[in-house]
Structure 1
Amino acid sequence: MSARPLILVTNDDGITAPGIRTLISVMHTIGDVVVVAPDSPQSAMGHAITINSTLHMEKVTIDGKQPEYSCSGTPADCVKLAVNEILERRPDICVSGINHGSNSSINVIYSGTMSAALEAGIEGIPAIGFSLLDYNWNANFEHCKPFIETITKQVLEHGLPDGVVLNVNLPNLEKEAIKGIKVCRQAKANWKEEFDKRTNPSGREYYWLTGKFVNMDKGEDTDEWALEHGYVSVVPVHFDLTAHHTIQKLNTWNLND
């Protein structure tokens, strides 16, 4: 048996996206890699899974190396198929990304990148979602490599608590300009959204979602602060959505009268 760790790689931008190709190249230096990723972009899919249509998967060779698996489904589907149909043993880690664009603060809720990581976490697999603050398809991911390698190796060495995955965002800066890595909390921020209403040539109305990102959090321990000040942000995320601090208060209500 190989002593190298088994690494599952996925994303939400699609299997041919430059971000995942960079991530795959880094993971090959660390362990044995299996790639299962969407066959087309699945950004902002959140934790959607396919239940009302069929899923298709095919082996593809993209970089002239080992075959990879291209899936018609969502990022979460990719992880489910990898664990249940492709892998002969549980991977030592799942890495998702590198996403083209930020998944900091509230964006984690909508992110297909992070949903793949969370799905792996649900399966008991240590997982990390990586994102670069550059939405350009031709973004330069080279400066991300050493930080991704460091964080991945640390997770492999130390593991993660049950139910916890890492949300890692990298600033769009030259490597020399990045000050380091900061463990942070998720900033309190959201999107002030608007819909651009238009009419097509046949007279039917349609909408484009637009919006402005608003950070309401002035703390210096948040992912938004870290990224703005030149740090790689690392936020531990858990998928238990229970508001534990509210249980005691709710138990004072007259719910059974």
Structure 2
Amino acid sequence: MKNHKPTILVVNDDDIDAPGIHALISVMKELGNVVVVAPDTPQSGMGHAITIAKPLRLDKVGLYEGVEMYKTSGTPVDCVKLAVNKIFKGKKPDLCVSGINHGLNHSINVIYSGTMSAAVEGAIESIPSIGFSYDDFTYAADFSKCLPFVKVIAQRVLEHGLPAGTLLNVNFPKTDTIKGIKICRQANAKYAEEFDERLDPHKRKYYWLTGVFQNADKGEDTDVWALDNYYASVVPIQFDMTAHHAIPLLNTWKFNEEK
């Protein structure tokens, strides 16, 4: 078992040609045998969407030497489902990594993120999973300062595994020097959203979603604080969304009593 070379599934939401996924592949090649399944078009903000109303395409491509790569017409979550069912044929990889996303997925953004939803799907499949994101939306983003941290985080997960039902949400600040890694909680922060109303050439209204990020959480143990202070944030998250603390309260409401 000591000579076992791990199999690593790499996915993303920015599409198979995005620089972020190629940066991630370069690191994962150092750690194991890499299989890539990624969307053929950008899928940012797709959350945990799956494709059910139309057929899915899955095509093998040769974009990266020595790496088995596929592109699909589906969502980031579809990428993981197709990999497990059609490429690995039910045999699970040792690790699933998603990203590196062009743009942060901290605080509440984790719910909307296609990058993180792909990692969540990996965890649902009992695969140790990590989502990586970087605070630079541009296509020309330089991921080089993130890569040493990507490698050590992936190595530790391969060595130790993760608690059942848990995955990691990792975000990197855009800075000359990343100070280190902070294990954090998700900040109570979100976008104050607005819809910018405009008119098309036919005088019909249409809308662009806009917003300003607002952080109501002043704690120094959050992902937002870590990133603002030039640390990489690592938040353990789970797909069990049960609000366990609310169960005792709801049990006092006596739903089964006759009126």
TM-score bracket, shorter-length normalisation:
over 0.9
Shift in Å, 1:64 = 4.2
Q: Deviations over 1:61-100 (max 9, x none)?
A: 1134444100100000000000000015310000000000
Tell me the residue number matched to 1:219.
Answer: 219
Maintained 8 Å contact 2:145/2:178: no
The RMSD of aligned alpha carbons is 1.1
Alignment match, 2:200? 200
- 2 CA distance for matches of 1:20 and 1:29? 15
1:32 counterpart letter in structure 2 = N
Q: For 1:137-156, what aligned pairs fall within 5 Å after superposition?
A: 137-156=139-158
Are 1:229 and 2:229 an aligned pair?
yes
Provide the residue aligned with 2:131 in structure 1. 129
Q: Deviations over 1:111-137 (max 9, x none)?
A: 000000000000000000000011111
Distance, in Å, in 2 between the alignment partners of 1:87 and 1:58 is: 15
Aligned to 1:92: 94
Q: Distance in 2 between matches of 1:113 and 1:67?
A: 20
User: 1:142 aligns to what SS in structure 2?
Assistant: coil
Could you tell me the TM-score, scaled by structure 1's length? 0.97
Alignment correspondent of 2:58 = 57
Whether the 8 Å CA contact 2:131–2:169 is kept in 1: the answer is yes
Q: Give the CA deviation at 1:254.
A: 2.6
Letter in 2 for 1:118: V
Report the equivalent of 1:46. Answer: 47
TM-score (norm 2): 0.96
- 2:145 match: secondary structure: helix
Number of positions where the alignment pairs a residue of Structure 1 with one of Structure 2: 255
Could you say what secondary structure the match of 1:241 adopts? coil
| SS state at 1:218 partner | coil
Q: 2: distance between equivalents of 1:66 and 1:184?
A: 33
Segments of structure 2 that go 5 or more residues without pairing to the other structure are none
Aligned to 2:103: 101
- 2:146 match: secondary structure: helix
Q: Which runs of 5+ in 1 are unaligned?
A: none
**Aligned equivalents of 1:63, 1:80: Cα separation in 2:** 22
Verify: 1:12 aligned to 2:13, yes or no. yes
Q: Secondary structure at the match of 1:58?
A: strand
Shift of 1:256: 1.4
**Partner residue in 2 for 1:256:** 256
Instruction: Assess if the C-alpha contact under 8 Å between 2:61 and 2:70 holds in 1.
Output: yes
Q: Share of identical aligned residues, percent?
A: 62
Matching of residues 63-74 of structure 1 within 5 Å: 63-74=64-75
The aligned counterpart of 1:23 is: 24
- Work out whether 1:170 is the aligned partner of 2:176: no
